């Protein structure tokens, strides 16, 4: 488990070493937090447990709380009878492309808008900010029509193109670059470096925290996206993982072990990333309310 | 400045001006080399379709045959559409369930997690991890946990001798179940932003209140809570926008059922646009939703300004 995500309690609200009242041998906050933590853990615990439970247990009423034995049958059926590995590959491809493209394009644009003076800068940036408000519902119909006209529908490209860059990413990087002191870059320019050299050699290495936030934002968004792939991709060879496991709800409705195994495949990578980089994920959450 | 203002003799001035113009061109090209690719992509995939979508909303079009211009016909139809009205009701119900709960839960958990006690890292992890669960995974988990026959919840009710519930199959309960699972996945967000705000409050403020004789509880309600108000306004707007756009979790649990009880505005829109291929009508509903969302946002911002909460 990674270390706690945020700096520990601030003086503002943490009860300092006040004498404990009512004779509890521990902080009363445990009485709230322990049950809540258990409740929050239940869905994932059930997911892992059900994925390892034999079908005869899962289809018995009442279902036993503890499986009679553990089995990998669910995973066996999943990998044996569905193209889930292909879907996993598709999703990895979409996410990796999205992340690389986001990091490159949004940091370049964010730097340009933060530091360079050029014609059209204000108008361009105003346009970017204005688009942050536009919801996907307004965009999905014309984008679908556009993508069908250029033949992107039903291909993985349809899932990738909307994730190549984002207004949020440009905005995030611009704000970060504005927060850097310009003296370093000016020194570089005076020493005869070009803007490009300054950007790649001086600025970008300082931008690691912002780039990490942007990478996590893009990973979560592109990995978990459902509504757009649902609209744009009907060919199960081009399904993303999310689309694939959703399609099981129609065809494998009562194969709980298989469904939960599929859920594990779709979720475990992100859970592991989260546990490995909790601090950075929390940072990303603070910047973006990615999910409702 | 134009060349006419310079005397013909001043060749040096013309040179300098030409070099300045060349420099400005070079800077413009350099600037667009940096911002161009991302800007073109983002604007091309948002401003351009948004405008197109508005024109689509004035047409009747199924994507194949010749589009017919019908003016505001789609908007007029939307106002009379009983199914859309029902979808609006369901969406408002969900928003009323989800938004206050997510704000209060976030505030409570932030205050609780802002302590230096044992297992705090474990508690934080347990509450934050569900944030990475996708709508698809959450939907499948929901149908499992709340399955009337095989689900954990009815299983527990059965063991302790309470009546079984229909959950997602009961029109009165389905939306509540969806709201609960939305909270599971998104409590992390409100908690984290309240936690960050709590840690930004200067310790001296609370200390000063305590020195002046306030109890810990008074200091919390009269010093800490007012400091959190801007974040609460921001979080409320954000969660309302999310709630009004609910689609994913409905699609992955009930598909709008039972008896259309969970059909939300965006689910209805998606169905109209991509199942019935009513691109014009779908666009009109989308634009209406967008405008209503903007109005609500502006309303909340103005209200909070008047209440002297500086959220923006």
pLDDT at B1 over 50: no
Backbone Cα Rg of chain B: 27
Q: Tell me which architecture the domain covering B81-277 has in CATH.
A: Orthogonal Bundle (1.10)
Using alpha carbons, select from A164, A277, A133, A131 the residue that is nearest to residue A216. A277
Give the pLDDT of residue A2.
Answer: 37
Give the pLDDT of residue B311.
Answer: 58
- Domains of chain A from N-terminus onward: 91-241 (1.10.3720.10)
pLDDT mean over B6-30 = 73
pLDDT at B217 over 90: no
Question: pLDDT-derived band of residue B7, with 50, 70 and 90 as boundaries?
Answer: very low
pLDDT at B165 over 60: yes
Using alpha carbons, select from B250, B228, B241, B244 the residue that is nearest to residue B106. B228
Give the pLDDT of residue A266.
Answer: 95
Please report, for chain B, the start and end positions of each structural domain, with discontinuous segments joined by +.
3-68, 81-277
User: Which residues on chain A are in Cβ contact (under 8 Å) with B150?
Assistant: 58-59, 61, 63, 256
Mutate to test the interface with A, among B39, B158, B214 (most CBs of A within 10 A): B39
Q: Does the beta-carbon distance from A141 to B196 stay under 8 Å? A: no
Nearest to A242 among B123, B128, B134 (CB): B134
DSSP B263: -
User: Which residues on chain A are in Cβ contact (under 8 Å) with B189?
Assistant: 285, 289-291
Q: CB burial class (10 A; 0-12, 13-18, 19+) of residue B213?
A: exposed
> How many beta-carbon contacts under 8 Å exist across A and B?
347
Q: pLDDT tens, B276-305?
A: 999 999 999 999 999 999 999 899 888 888
Tens-level pLDDT at each residue, chain A (292 residues): 333 344 444 444 444 445 545 567 888 889 999 999 999 999 999 999 999 999 888 887 778 888 888 999 899 999 998 999 999 999 999 999 999 999 999 999 999 999 998 989 999 999 998 898 899 999 999 999 999 999 999 999 999 999 999 999 999 999 999 999 988 888 888 888 888 899 998 899 999 999 999 999 999 999 999 999 999 999 989 999 999 999 988 777 778 899 999 999 999 999 999 999 999 998 888 876 555 3
Give the pLDDT of residue A4.
Answer: 39
Question: pLDDT-derived band of residue B2, with 50, 70 and 90 as boundaries?
Answer: very low
Q: Does the beta-carbon distance from B132 to A116 stay under 8 Å? A: no
Q: Does the beta-carbon distance from B27 to A116 stay under 8 Å? A: yes
Shortest alpha-carbon distance between residue A68 and chain B (Å): 16
Q: pLDDT tens, B106-133?
A: 999 999 999 888 899 999 999 999 999 9
User: Which residues on chain A are in Cβ contact (under 8 Å) with B35?
Assistant: 108-109, 112-113, 116, 121, 124, 170
Mutate to test the interface with B, among A6, A12, A165, A260 (most CBs of B within 10 A): A12
End-to-end CA distance of chain B: 40
Which of A 91-130 lie inside 8 A of B, CB atoms?
Answer: 105-106, 108-109, 111-113, 116-121, 124, 127-128, 130
Question: pLDDT-derived band of residue B10, with 50, 70 and 90 as boundaries?
Answer: low
Using alpha carbons, select from A230, A118, A289, A211 the residue that is nearest to residue B239. A289
Phi, psi dihedrals of residue A244, rounded to the nearest 5° = -60, -50
The rounded distance, in Å, linking the Cα atoms of B181 and B186 is 9
Q: pLDDT tens, B255-270?
A: 988 999 999 999 999 9
Contact A90, A238 (CB under 8 A): yes
Q: Which tokens is A43 given?
A: 């869905």
The rounded distance, in Å, linking the Cα atoms of A213 and A196 is 23
Percent of chain B at pLDDT > 90 equals 62
Using DSSP's 3-state secondary structure scheme, residue B213 falls into coil
Q: What sign has the CA pseudo-torsion A98, A101, A105, A106? A: positive
Q: Does the beta-carbon distance from A267 to B137 stay under 8 Å? A: yes
Using alpha carbons, select from B175, B172, B141 the residue that is nearest to residue B262. B175
Q: Which tokens is A90 given?
A: 């598709």
Can the peptide bond before residue A60 be classed as cis, meaning omega within 30 degrees of 0? no
Long-range contacts of A166-169 (CB under 8 A, 24+ apart): A166/A102, A166/A106, A166/A218, A166/B42, A167/A128, A167/A129, A167/A131, A167/A132, A167/B42, A167/B46, A168/A132, A168/A217, A168/A288, A169/A102, A169/A105, A169/A106, A169/A110, A169/A214, A169/A217, A169/A218, A169/B38
């Amino acid at each position: 488990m990674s270390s706690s995500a945020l700096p520990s309690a601030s003086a503002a609200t943490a009860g300092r070493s006040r004498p404990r009242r009512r004779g509890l041998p521990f902080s009363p906050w445990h009485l709230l937090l322990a049950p809540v933590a258990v409740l929050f853990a239940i869905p994932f615990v059930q997911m892992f447990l059900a994925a390892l439970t034999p079908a005869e247990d899962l289809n018995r009423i009442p279902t036993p709380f503890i499986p009679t034995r553990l089995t990998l049958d669910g995973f066996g059926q999943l990998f044996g009878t569905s193209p889930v590995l292909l879907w996993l590959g598709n999703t990895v491809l979409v996410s990796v492309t999205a992340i690389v493209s986001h990091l490159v394009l949004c940091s370049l644009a964010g730097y340009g808008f933060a530091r360079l003076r050029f014609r059209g800068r204000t108008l361009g940036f105003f346009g970017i900010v204005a688009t942050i408000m536009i919801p996907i519902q307004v965009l999905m119909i014309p984008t679908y029509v556009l993508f069908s006209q250029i033949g992107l529908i039903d291909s993985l490209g349809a899932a990738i193109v909307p994730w190549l860059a984002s207004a949020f990413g440009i905005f995030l990087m611009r704000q970060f670059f504005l927060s850097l002191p310009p003296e370093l870059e000016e020194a570089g320019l005076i020493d005869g470096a070009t803007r490009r050299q300054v950007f790649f050699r001086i600025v970008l290495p300082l931008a690691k925290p912002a780039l990490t936030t942007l990478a996590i934002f893009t990973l979560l968004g592109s990995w978990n996206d459902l509504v757009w792939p649902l609209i744009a991709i009907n060919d199960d060879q081009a399904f993303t993982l999310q689309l694939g496991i959703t399609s099981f709800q129609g065809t494998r409705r009562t194969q709980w072990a298989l469904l939960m195994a599929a859920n594990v495949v779709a979720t475990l990578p992100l859970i592991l990333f989260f546990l490995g980089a909790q601090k950075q994920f929390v940072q990303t959450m603070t910047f973006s309310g990615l999910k409702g | 400045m134009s060349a006419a203002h310079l005397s013909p003799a001043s060749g040096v001035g013309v040179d300098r001006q030409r070099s300045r113009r060349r420099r400005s061109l070079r800077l413009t090209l350099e600037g667009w080399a940096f911002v161009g690719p991302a800007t073109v992509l983002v604007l091309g995939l948002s401003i351009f379709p948004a405008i197109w979508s508005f024109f689509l909303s004035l047409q009747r079009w199924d994507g194949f045959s010749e589009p017919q211009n019908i003016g505001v016909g789609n908007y007029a139809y939307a106002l009379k559409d009983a199914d859309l009205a029902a979808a609006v009701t369901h969406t408002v119900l969900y928003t009323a369930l989800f938004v206050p709960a997510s704000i209060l839960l976030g505030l409570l958990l932030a205050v609780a997690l802002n302590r230096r006690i044992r297992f705090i890292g474990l508690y934080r992890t347990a509450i934050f991890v569900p944030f990475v669960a996708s709508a698809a995974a959450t939907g499948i988990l929901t149908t499992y946990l709340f399955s009337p026959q095989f689900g954990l919840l009815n299983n527990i009710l059965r063991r302790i001798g309470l009546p079984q519930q229909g959950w997602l199959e009961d029109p009165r309960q389905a939306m509540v179940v969806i709201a609960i699972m939305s909270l599971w996945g998104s409590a992390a967000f409100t908690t984290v932003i309240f936690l960050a705000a709590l840690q930004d409050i200067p310790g001296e403020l609370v200390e000063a209140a305590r020195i002046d004789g306030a109890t810990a509880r008074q200091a919390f309600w009269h010093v800490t809570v007012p400091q959190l108000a801007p974040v609460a306004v921001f979080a409320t707007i954000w969660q309302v926008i999310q709630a009004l756009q609910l689609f994913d979790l409905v699609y992955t649990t009930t598909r709008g059922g039972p008896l259309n009880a969970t059909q939300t505005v965006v689910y209805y829109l998606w169905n109209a646009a991509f199942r019935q291929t009513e691109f014009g009508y779908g666009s009109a509903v989308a634009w209406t939703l967008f405008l209503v969302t903007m109005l609500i946002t502006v309303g909340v911002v103005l209200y909070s300004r008047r209440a002297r909460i500086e959220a923006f």
